[in-house]
Amino acid sequence: MSKSIFHGHGYFMNDDRASGGKMAEDDIIACAHTGAAMKKADWKLHGGMCMVCARPISAAAFKRAKVFGCEGPEEKRIEQAVNAHYHAQQNAKVLGI
């Protein structure tokens, strides 16, 4: 996958013509909430936009956002998980376990 000059997330190309299929190309964008890769054309038809973090989100994340609200950018969730793991290790060290 090469990097798109338009969006910076990537470019999808599947050339299946040699086996009787067809060639498929599209820009790739990433879901802000889950990090899932989405084809831009599919996102235009089925995806959504988070109004809190103002980023494109997948259809599944869009359904969750209607119920739970913005679940934050993926980078924030990874940072929270790393911090939680660090604090658990520090607590175990203090407690001697």
Q: Between 26 and 59, whose beta carbon lies closer to Zn ion? A: 59
Give dist(CA 95, CA 6) in Å, integer. Answer: 52
Give dist(CA 26, CA 11) in Å, integer. Answer: 6
Q: Which of residues 57-96 bind Zn ion (CB under 5 A)?
A: 70
The answer to whether 1 and 10 are in contact (CB under 8 A) is yes
Site membership for Zn ion, residue 36 (CB under 5 A): no
Q: Which of 24, 52, 82, 88 binds Zn ion (CB under 5 A)?
A: 52
| Binding residues vs Zn ion (CB under 5 A) | 50, 52-53, 70
